Structure 1
Amino acid sequence: MTDEDPIVAALRAAGCVFAEDEARLLREAASGDELTTLVRRRVDGQPLEHVLGWAGFRGLRVAVDPGVFVPRHRTGLLVDQAIPLLSPGDVVLDLCCGTGALGAAVAAKIPVELHAADIDPASVACARRNVPRVYEGDLFEPVPTALRGRIAVILANVPYVPTEEIALMPPEAREYEVRVALDGGDDGLTVLRRVAAEAPGWLAPGGHVLSETSGRQAPVALAVFRSHLSDARIVEDDDSIVVIGTKQGRPGPKSGAAPGVKTR
């Protein structure tokens, strides 16, 4: 009987549920002393994606720098809902972009004119490794004014964790991801309200803004979108909830619900 793989044992002792898979990825990334350093960083609690320097998202390998928000697999629903609303050449804005993973995933499926923005300098630097045209500043403030009234889809994966609940998040998030990417204000909807209020001025007629939210927040998020846009709806699957708002004008293409996806 052979001894257990020491890296797997160390990762498992640190609470890594998928210790075998993580050990394989770490060995693929480095060897010798460098591998030892990577394992130590992971055992100390750093997100695997920060340790590896990348995250898998919608079939892409997205660069992820230390401190930057790690793209979640559940947010793929937002990408899936955006793609049918677009035509080749449309303008897309990935707002609160983090790594730029959402915009990159959309652009990988359909040739769009992609722009992105984030307030966090480290996130902007990281996103520029993944997508072109990334601007640094608060929400729409750094976005070129030439895009006003031209954007077909705004991907706004805004922070939506209520401030007091950040302390309850897993250490990987609260200790290693920039707080501005997590903190949604008192009820978690502060940034979403700002996006909903400003989006109509940037959207083309019939354009859409999409944002992830939680089940508890969904009714309020829907009401916020409806107060600023001509139409809004909720789409959800087993893992995620997306609110979609539409600006009045020529309607864009609509998609039927995919298996496991509900609309309300």
Structure 2
Amino acid sequence: MTVPFTTDRPALVDRLRAAGCVYAEDEADLLLQAADSPTLLADLVARRIAGEPLEHLLGWAEFCGLRVAVDPGVFVPRGRTALLVATAAAVTGPAPAVVDLCCGSGATTLALARRLAPRWLAAADIDPAAVACARRNLSALGVPVFQGDLFAPLPETWRGRLDLVVANAPYVPTAAVELLPPEARLHEAPVALDGGPDGLAVLRRVAAGAGRWLAPGGHLVVEAAVTQVDSLCAAFADAGLAPDVRHDEEMEATAVVGRRAA
């Protein structure tokens, strides 16, 4: 049975809530603002009810007080990653050389550009769609975005000179990917979600590479699940990085810091 479409806000809220949208009232307001015609609004609401991420429909996500463009298929920045940003800003020194790996839309890079005064800043991702999106977000800042696997596309002259490396790498165990909400599982790139058998396959490689790319006294900051902390700290230690853990219960966020010896 086809439900008649309406621009009536309370009716939209009811439809979104019935579809499982937790923040139905906020979503209704955003969809109403985004649509310039009843036809477009009907399409957006139908797609949202079908499970498409709100951010992909709007074309942007809010992150750390910034509006970040997010293209279809690109990983949507999560609010909990604000802990990674805050931790990275707290541990690094003045005018750092910074690289954001697994940058996705470039949201973390944008937030760090605003909080720090980096002498140079770059981002990288293996997913072509993410790279294109990040380049659009970062073009006004003149920040280069490299396409490739972790450190591989970076200029070799940067090896051993980075003060800060951040990475919101995939850390969902492969078997748990199918348990993710459909809006993530069906609409975001698998390479941005699947972290291998225990979720740490990519993060171990990040740690191993960081030991070679960080300057003495430099820091690696990554996001992980709280249940992964012990294994990840061991991987950091194996890579020659002194580990430290930051956790925010309110955001349900965990960041792990590794420091290369001075």
- Structure 1 length normalisation: TM-score? 0.90
More divergent stretch after superposition (139-148 vs 69-78)? 139-148
Q: Indicate if the aligned counterparts of 1:87 and 1:110 stay in contact, CA closer than 8 A.
A: no
Question: What is the alpha-carbon distance in structure 2 between the residues aligned to residue 155 and residue 123 of structure 1?
Answer: 16
Which letter maps to 2:259?
A: T
Relative distance call for 1:159 and 1:4 in structure 2 (3 A) is: closer
Q: How far is 1:24 from its partner?
A: 0.6
RMSD (Å), alpha carbons: 1.3
Equivalent position to 2:134, from 111, 127, 134: 127
Does the Cα contact within 8 Å between 2:162 and 2:214 map onto a contact in 1? yes
Alpha-carbon distance between aligned partners in 1 of 2:36 and 2:11, rounded to the nearest angstrom: 14
Task: Give runs of ≥4 in structure 1 deviating > 3 Å.
Answer: none
The amino acid across from 2:96 in the alignment is D
Of 20, 25, 43, the residue aligned with 2:25 is 20
Structure 1 stretches lacking a partner, 5+ long: 250-264
1:88, distance to aligned residue in structure 2 (A): 4.2
After TM superposition, list the pairs within 5 Å mapping 1:8-157 onto structure 2: 8-32=13-37, 33-112=39-118, 113-131=120-138, 132-157=143-168
- Structure-1 residue corresponding to 2:236: 225
Once the 2 structures are TM-superposed, how far is the Cα of residue 10 of structure 1 from its aligned partner? 1.9
1:166-188, Cα deviation, whole Å (9 max, x unpaired):
01111111100000000000111
Q: Distance in 2 between matches of 1:229 and 1:241?
A: 21
Give the match's secondary structure for 1:99.
Answer: coil
TM value normalised by structure 2:
0.91
Q: CA deviation at 1:31?
A: 2.5
How many equivalent pairs are there?
A: 247
Question: In structure 2, do the counterparts of structure 1 residues 135 and 8 end up closer, same or farther at CA, with 3 Å as the change threshold?
Answer: same
- The sequence identity of aligned pairs, in percent, is 54
- SS of 1:192's equivalent in the other structure is helix
Matched AA of 1:57: F
Which residue of 235, 242, 250 corresponds with 2:255? 242
Counterpart for residue 4 of structure 2 = none
SS of the residue corresponding to residue 41 of structure 2 reads: helix
- Find the aligned partners of 2:102 and 2:152 in 1 and give their Cα distance: 12
Deviations 1:181-234 (A, max 9, x none): 000001110001111111121111100001111121110001110111241111
* Equivalent residues of 1:236, 1:242 under 8 A apart: yes
